[in-house]
Structure 1
């Protein structure tokens, strides 16, 4: 019975990792092929960093950070090592989120487009702020 549960867990884990990885790949293909690529020059190419970094950071890397404690092969590792891996993955996700916001604000400012004009903007900024508060607070726990 325990082995069936372990196999089921591994199947779900591999499936989740595959979906996350494919999300990153499909986002890159979409941006590079259908949205003309990436750049950091104030054009839409700079804005294109936003979906790539958010999907990579908040979907894929954050997803791994969430489950890192639940992986059976990590149970024998020291708690300090697991905390460092978890914190490192969260830090990478946070950095990517900040860079994605910088890209959006820089793009908007370069073309004189108002910032924070949609519900997506407000919900996204709120999510990033709360995420940063969580990451900051967890550094003291």
Structure 2
């Protein structure tokens, strides 16, 4: 994200009590930031979607449905949804920050994990998926 865009994102978020810390990742039309939420005194992940880069169908159909589903899920093995903010040019999605980061990044950094760790991760994945399925939902 260009410096002027980062400044605009920061300005919008500061109005809502968030302070950007660092960029965690970037995709085709979204950037994920680590931020500090002053109200709760905790760090969160904020996905910032740039509307002009996203497909129209994604913005009108998929994203609203994804946010609605996320709001209804509460499980220890699923990232929590906190809030979303929409402006003319962007959608901000505030999420729980995974304390250990992404599994793929951990594997890339440390190599393959041992059987005990992979079993623990697999169990957590299965528990999260079973919960989603119990709510009549599927993961794409």
The two structures share one fold, judged by TM-score above 0.5: no
RCO (CA 8 Å, sep 6+): is it higher in 1 or 2? 1
More strand, by proportion: 2
TM value normalised by structure 2: 0.28
More helix, by proportion: 1
Report which of the two structures shows the higher radius of gyration computed on alpha carbons.
1
